[in-house]
Structure 1
Amino acid sequence: MMNVHTHEQIKISSLYSITIKQFTSTNSFLDFPLVTKLHIPTALHASDLILKELQSKGVVINKFTLVGWLGEKLKLGVNNKEDYVTLVGSHKWPTKINGINIVIAKPRYVPDSFVLVVRYVPRELEGHFISNEIQRMIVSADRIKRIHYSYQRRTYDYRFDVKDYSEYNAVLQLGRIAIGHSWLSINKFYPGNCLTYCTKCWCIGHLRNKCNSENKCRICLENLMVDTPYMCKNEPKCAQCDGTHHSLDSQCQVIKEYKDQLKENVEDAIQKGLLQRLSLQEKLPIFELRD
């Protein structure tokens, strides 16, 4: 007979939130009997216990701004970057709540709110040179990628994550970075209109909680079976048009039409006063460095 050890997992998400979920060593959800559930603290009680434990160890944050159960998961959230960075970087999390063991699972990626953009990069500069120059200036810079636009531009923009919050603020205050012989402006990253798509079947227009399809591989769209290992063929197939590209590829004609319609809807909502457009900084001139 296999022994199953119950414990708790806390996960910090990219939306400045923390989730607590119950699971077993086999990663299947548990249905605790009533007598066991009585020992699980309420959402408010659990958040207070965690906050007090963190504060007692010198981790200073404001109170959690989001507390509540989401299905079998307890969500705790903060609404500012400073607290999020503090929580993600802390190694002083409590190991138990009311005698229940907890484990911290930190995110593997950086949210868009910690992404910067270096703008108006001359097209003749190669990508690896741009990456090296950015990392020489910003040590914690990661995932440096050129932004692909649907129209031709005379210069390129590059986006990148900044994992260190002090570097993030310092670079924003400078407002510029030297690449090659040019001083180029740096701005916050403002994501475009977000697609509504399903992470279950990878079709656009709905979310996974409204999907009746089987779980599918993100790349090849083969059905994924629970507790059954799957090796992807790495042959992309589009869920929108059955083409030989990824389902959310910006070059897919269905995706292009969807984005165009989405843009029209957003513009219409702005004109009606239902949405407000962020005012971006005006284009800054490029200063050449001369020997």
Structure 2
Amino acid sequence: MNNNLQLDQPRQQASVQQQQQHRIPFEQLKRAVSSNLPCFFIEYEHAENSKNRPSDISAARVIEDYFKQQGISISFSLVGHTGNKLKFGVNNKNSYATLINTDKWPSQIHNINITVGYRLEIPFCTITPFLTGNRMTYCTRCCCLGHMRDKCNGEYSRCRICLDNRINGQTHVCSNTVRCAQCDEDHHSLSSACEKVVEYRSNLKEQVENALSAGKVQRLVPQDHVQPTEFRLKQNEFPSLPSLMSCNTPWKQTSVQSTVTNNINGIEDTTKILLSINQNILDMKDNTRHIDEKLDCINEKVNRTSLDVELHNEILVKLLPTLASLVDKFIWPMMLNDVARAAGPLFLEPGPGKKASICVFTEVGELWNTSQIPHFNIFHQHGTNKSGGVSIAIGKHLKGSRIDSNIENAIIVDVDDLSETVRIIAIYWPAGQTRVLGELESYITKNTIITCDFNASVK
């Protein structure tokens, strides 16, 4: 009896350990029975300061108290925060339906305006039982109704799409032209568009209903699955085996020696394998340590580079206003002054007490309007490329008028208040562009000055 108890204890311990191994965590059990009902979201106005907003639990209590005042008993099972929105949920379908259908949500929480989102209108869906249709009798060999494959009299099987014969040993190439085996129309053989198929179904349904009502046939209904009965162990059903009788025969020394030798050899092999595994683990440990050291060095360099970038960024941010002011107030005016000197003013015979000042600039690009020349009116024509563009600067004591033209990269200006009216034509031609000088003939007058930056071929 004591021996049986000692044998049962290890079995019970093994069964308990096995149950603990296959036990599912409690968090998964809670999730299995949790609700999948959608949540409600509440969003505060953006103008309110986030520090003045109540906590999530306080907001949930305010909403629950408000619903109680309206005669609605609601208890939220989920209160959380998602981004800038509060998330509320219930695990009761009746509570969820009440929240969906009610319009008595509060408009404020602690004097802060709120809006309620994700209030879905869930329609009621009708549930209708699925009734299986009557199975048609048709041949998979010739695609005709009324018989099965084993009773088909056709010589060859036919393609289900084009109905061509499929001869054994020959590769069939389907024409993909749909034909019906019942009426030879352009649809499949069992399509509901076929009149013969519709007629066959109608007759089959009528005759099946007549046979069912007459009791000739019975429709098979799937039966419920029968649960197997639980096995129960009855007392003395499996008696214990008798104890083995002890053997008094002496052991053979040769077999004992061979067994010991084999065990020693196996232990030595196992020891070698364990030593090899131990050495591999030590090598992997050293390699891991080296990799960690390299990663630490790389991390230190990255941090140092990040600090340098931040420092340089701060310095550049501080220098940008100074550089912009330097370019705008010093470098750019000096450049314009040098260009004006290089172009040279055009001195014509002015009227009494007047001095003529006219400057022509070619290839001014997109920076022509970043700075103004004092005491000059500027006439500009945009270029066809990024570096193009032509400008004519005329002193404000003179009167200038622009002449409209369709010539690319060119500007025409008439200058008055001189002894005679002078027309100035300024042209910039980019490299690789072919132009005809004859297009200027209609704009040339008696006193015309043409100044160009020729980079193009001329016909």
Give the TM-score taking structure 1 as reference length: 0.31
Which of the pair has more CA radius of gyration?
2
Higher strand share: 1
Higher helix share: 2
